[in-house]
Structure 1
Amino acid sequence: MATPVLLDHLGRPIQRQVLQQEVAAPTVTGVRQVMTGHPEVGLTPQRLARILREAEEGEPTRYLELAEAMEEKDLHYASVLGTRKRQVAQLPVKVVAADDSPEAQRQAEFLEAFLERDELQDELVDVLDATGKGYSCTEIVWDFSEGQWWPARLEWRDPRWFTFDREDGRTPLLREMGEPQPLAPFKWITHLAKAKSGLPIRGGLARLAAWMYLFKNYAVKDWISFIEVYGMPIRLGKYHAGASNEEKAILLSAVRNIGTDVGAIIPEGMVIEFVEAIGKGSSSIDLYDRFAAWADAQISKGVLGQNLTTEVKGGSYAAAQVHNDVRQDIETADAKQVSATLNRDLMRPAIDLNFGPQQSYPRLVVGREEEQDLRMLLAGVKTLVPLGARVSKSGMARAFGLPEAVDDQDLLTAPAGGPAVPPDGTDPALAKALAARQGDSAGGTGGDPGGDPGAGQVVLDPAAEAAMKAARPPIEGLVEQLKERLAAAGSWEEAQGALLELAQQASDPRLVETMREALVLAELQGMDAIASRKP
């Protein structure tokens, strides 16, 4: 039986004999050398502008060397970029089967075995090298020694060894002696970071941070020069009016060397004075410090989308949570991008090589499970079930991550002697309190059947009673709206959506005003009680 011809996502046939070879290993004399240049040395605004233009025009080598140097020499940029890459590389990775058939489950289990490799996290960091540089190319070295195609190694390749097609600016090509060559099908994981729309070479964060890197280096250089002489006294040499050039030279040499030699000799009649550096206050130092901190904050915003988690300053917990949410959005976007790349360039080739082409393929998913507020879920269920909402026990067990009971012996029950909850879901204590209040409002005792007038009563002060009476009409209106929406809901999801929508729309001004007045009155009553308290 002839081996079927496999095509990649671009419709190109694969070459199986190439899959087990390293086609982009470094060389000593060829175009793929490990030695690199250092364009960051003596970098100026004019040189940086030329480097960025070269990258746009199809010569990205100096730009990629600069991006590498930035990760090595700028501690802040290396920190935030490394945080962004490692945060995604450490996310949970799972495989979702194409369907429930035994064959689809077998394919998913095959891919899950690959994900158990210890090297996977480091390999994901290599793939995410595109975050800074705009793109990354990782070579897949396949192994067929046991009769099945297995990705034995994922080898990071220096992005300087690749260029882009001149026509579209998006198709990566491998540099060879002569003309660059297309990447072999099923052989490469090509990840393009989408920090912004446009050409891949312009989508990396290094391009965004390059200007701050340059300007901060200017500031730090001047700062170090300032620190070198800050606070040191000025050595002032004075010579007499008839001094010769030789005597002046001797005096100058003494002034220059006295800082390091501590001692010097000068002709008689000459004077060396030490003038203290007065007026060089902390404001001069703060100028460099503030600019360097500002530049770091701009880099944090560009890489992480915020800077509150990297700059510890005064602020509220709520503000920190908002900034963390922005960072979460970026994490999710990065995770979806790398998931799409791995599904296209690694997962699908592995399935095609071992199981043949499929109608639908298992998917690799990188990312956190969506967190759910279980307290709110439980409170909502307690409220909705007595109103007729149908909620499954198995669904609640899955939401809480609990296995379902196998039999009655395995069933979790309330502790013996605990409060019994009626079938309608009403809390007994709450029911007793409400009954007592209703009896008191009607003029009765509201107590126990035995006749004790004080038993079980809920005593409300006049202010609370008035507030509850004033709030009853708007609350009843909200309850009616809630009943109508829940009655129209056909599922738990629709009911939950109706609750959220009503919560956003419910803004009865009468209720707001009543609550405001009640709070003010309660505070006044408290102040009066404190003032009238006897010492």
Structure 2
Amino acid sequence: MVMASKPPALVLPDGRPLTRENLGVEIARPTRASVRTIQSGHPAQGLTPQRLAGLLRAAEDGDAVAYYELAEEMEEKDLHYLALLRTRKLAAAQLPMEVEAADSSEQAKGDAQFLKDWLDRDVLQAELFDILDAIGKGVSATEILWNLTSKTWLPKALKWRDPRWFEFDRETGDELLLRGGPEGVGPATPLPAGKFIVHFHPSKSGLPIRSGLARIAAWGYMFKNFAIKDWVTFLERYGHPIRIGKYGPNESEENKAILYRALWELGTDAAAAFPETMNVEFVDRKAGTAPNDLWKSHAEYIDLQLSKAVLGQTSTTDATAGGLGSGQADSHGRVADTIERHDGKVLASTLNRDFVPALIMLNRGPREKYPRIKIERPDAEDIKVTVETAEKLVSMGVKIDGEELRERAGLPAARSDETALKPASQSMPENLPVGASGGQGAPVDAPKAAKAFLGLLKAGNGASQSDIPALQSQEPEREADALSRTTDEALGDWEELIRPAVGSIESLIGECDTIGELQSRLVEVMADMDVSAFTEELARGLFAARVAGLAAPGQG
């Protein structure tokens, strides 16, 4: 009997094997009886420089629980820091996402389409936002919850997991381990293949635990918190008079306590009772001697530094005047674009490493190369210039894909031939003479037409028929009759006929400096125009046209 061999194990590109047992269960779910509890400490309460330094050193040594709790509280208590992180994470999570096939084969295109179909989900943006929690803390772990069926193995959710439930290995500080193992009560274990998207988002070079923005912002958060506490205390006591109680040398402790309690009641209730032998004095002066904007300027200064650390600029978060003039906004905009582009590329590289190979391998089989996710904003393009350039290249014989050009222009494809836009037909002016540009027939050759017209005039004056040039031999492309030859002949020497009439106008143009002066004096020269030659030639033309018309076949 031949035993059926097991199918070969699926191995990710990093060498870790995929196992069905690990994929089908939640490994890092919270439980109250393990280290994975939702209960959290609050190290930000009563934070001092000594406590903060010890907390950060403990994180470097491998115990980062308090550090992650502080990072969480900083986002909850500092509105400015929260707004900065949200702005940066939302900007990266909303970047356009494209899927690029591994090559041009049909198999690679099918893999890319399979990945693209799964990414088309309403919750994807929220899941990317959670993955980008690493911007603040330096690292994030997202568990892939697989929905295993007989046909497909698709993730039903990408679940954010609390970073307190993980730790880095003590040897290299680079590998993220699961605290307590799968059961939550043992030693830390490596993360199973295909189950977690581990995203490192360093703000500086070094160990991942020291590369998060929370570590950089922690000192500013603490000093800003000190300033705000002092500011609130100042505002609470501002304007209240100082109350001073006086008692005699032999006063009993009981009466001293009564006087002290009375002083407090005067500050809150404005009423108190104390022995007649005691004296209370009110000193009318402002509480404190510091300028009233001292703490405000302190807090605003730290906010500006946080804006630079998180977003690289201040123009989009703080309305402050800069020394770059109108170019400040452009300069800050370029910095923001640089950070956004970096965030998108780092996020895409994580998905291409921890998610894409597992999804394709489980559903379509192992591949030498897998499709790639690209998360970036396309470069701005002047589509008008692109279209004009394409039009010129096409006229030169260059072949250009019109469908790709339409997509680059951001225009929808036509649903049918009936709804498709078509080039507008060029309307032809009506009543154009034969041979005129845009009219029917061929354009007139003026010199040849002039010779033909002169021949007609000679024939009308008794000249022999042999003196009339044959227009057909000069324009073989169309058959000319007597009327058309007459018209062409009349157009031949129009410049010589009209020159005596416009000579006086040309002289007037030379004398005038402006159009207005020319218009006002034009009436002066109209009476002096010599149109005799033009009139005589017009009469001859009409006579010749009439003779030609009578001589045409069918005329009586």
Band the TM-score falls in, shorter-chain normalisation: 0.7 to 0.9
Counterparts of 2:351 and 2:412 in 1: how far apart (Å)? 32
Tell me which residue corresponds to 1:123. Answer: 127
- Count of residues in Structure 1 that have an aligned counterpart in Structure 2: 426
Aligned to 1:198: 206
CA distance in 1, matches of 2:221, 2:210: 17
2:143 counterpart letter in structure 1: E
Change beyond 3 A, Cα 1:242–1:5: closer
Corresponding residue for residue 181 of structure 1: 189
Asked if the contact 2:361/2:367 (under 8 Å) is kept, the reply is yes
Per mean C-alpha deviation after superposition, the further-off stretch among 307-316 and 193-202 is 307-316
- 1:125-274 map, 5 Å: 125-176=129-180, 177-239=185-247, 247-268=255-276, 270-274=278-282
**Offset at residue 313 of structure 1 (A):** 2.9
Residues 438-490 of structure 1: CA deviation (Å, up to 9, x unaligned) = xxxxxxxxxxxx897699xxx99xxxxxxxxxxxxxxxxxxxxxxxxxxxxxx
What is aligned with 1:54? 58
Report the alpha carbon displacement of residue 8 of structure 1 after superposing the two structures with TM.
Answer: 1.8
Distance change >3 Å, CA 259–CA 162, structure 1 → 2? same
Which residue of structure 2 aligns with residue 26 of structure 1? 30
- What is the CA–CA distance in structure 2 between the aligned matches of 1:10 and 1:147, rounded to whole Å? 26
Distance in 1 between the 2:338 and 2:353 partners? Answer: 23
Task: Tell me if structure 2 keeps the 8 A contact 1:381–1:391.
Answer: no
Mapped to 2, the partners of 1:415 and 1:310 lie a distance apart of 53
- Residue 377 of structure 2 is matched in structure 1 by 368
Separation in 1 of the partners of 2:77 and 2:188? Answer: 31
Change (3 A) 1:246 1:181: closer
1:287 corresponds in structure 2 to 294
Task: Specify whether residues 128 and 403 from structure 1 end up closer, same or farther in structure 2 by C-alpha distance, changes over 3 A only.
Answer: closer
Amino acid at match of 1:196: K
**1:319-369, Cα deviation, whole Å (9 max, x unpaired):** 123212211111111111111111111111111111111122111122222
Aligned counterpart in structure 2 of residue 35 of structure 1, from 39, 63, 84: 39
* Per-residue Cα deviation, 1:419-446 (whole angstroms, up to 9, x for no partner): 9xxxxxxxxxxxxxxxxxxxxxxxxxxx
Specify which of 292, 299, 309 is matched with residue 302 of structure 1: 309
Q: Aligned equivalents of 2:140 and 2:409: distance in 1?
A: 40
One-letter amino acid matched to 2:35: V
Code of the aligned partner of 1:219: A
TM-score when normalising by structure 2:
0.70
Residue of structure 1 equivalent to 2:470: none
2:87 paired with 1:83 = yes
Query: 2: distance between equivalents of 1:362 and 1:318?
Result: 41
Does the residue aligned with 2:281 lie in a helix, a strand or coil?
strand
Matched residue, 1:325: 334
Contact kept? 2:266, 2:272, Cα under 8 Å: yes
Displacement of 1:246 in angstroms is 5.2
Cα root mean square deviation, aligned:
3.3
Does the alignment pair 1:12 with 2:16? yes
1:334 aligns with 2:343: yes
Q: Is the 8 A contact 1:231 1:280 kept in 2?
A: no
Asked if 2 retains the 8 angstrom alpha-carbon contact of 1:186 and 1:349, the reply is yes
Task: Specify the SS of the correspondent of 2:336.
Answer: helix
Q: Matched residues in 2 for 1:119 and 1:252: separation? A: 62
Matches within 5 A, 1:415-494: none
SS at match of 2:44: coil
Pick the aligned partner of 1:311 from 302, 315, 318.
Answer: 318
Alpha-carbon distance in 1 for matches of 2:189, 2:247 = 74
Amino acid paired to 2:364 = F
Deviates more, 1:356-365 or 1:247-256: 247-256
1:49-103 per-residue CA deviation (whole Å, 9 max, x = no partner) reads: 1111111121111111111111111111111111111111122222222233332
In the alignment, what sits opposite 2:365?
356
Aligned equivalents of 1:33 and 1:333: distance in 2?
Answer: 34
Higher Cα Rg, which structure: 2
- The DSSP-based 3-state class of the residue aligned with 1:64 is helix
1-side partners of 2:257 and 2:218: how far apart? 46
Distance 2:191 2:143 in 1: 10
State the one-letter code of the partner of 1:274. Answer: F
Query: How many Å separate the matches in 2 of 1:387 and 1:115?
Result: 41
Other-structure match for 1:347: 356
Using the size of structure 1 for normalisation, the TM-score is 0.72
Letter in 2 for 1:292: A
Q: Which residue of 1 aligns with 2:283?
A: 275
Change over 3 Å in CA distance of 1:356–1:222 after alignment to 2: same
Structure 1 residues not aligned, in runs of 5+: 420-449, 461-535
Contact 2:241–2:286 under 8 Å retained in 1: no
Q: Which amino acid aligns with 1:366?
A: I
Structure 2 Cα separation of the partners of residues 16 and 48 of structure 1: 43
Within 2, Cα distance between the matches of 1:418 and 1:409?
25
Cα distance change on mapping 1:407 and 1:31 into 2, 3 Å: closer
| CA 225–347 in structure 1, closer or farther in 2 if over 3 Å, else same | same
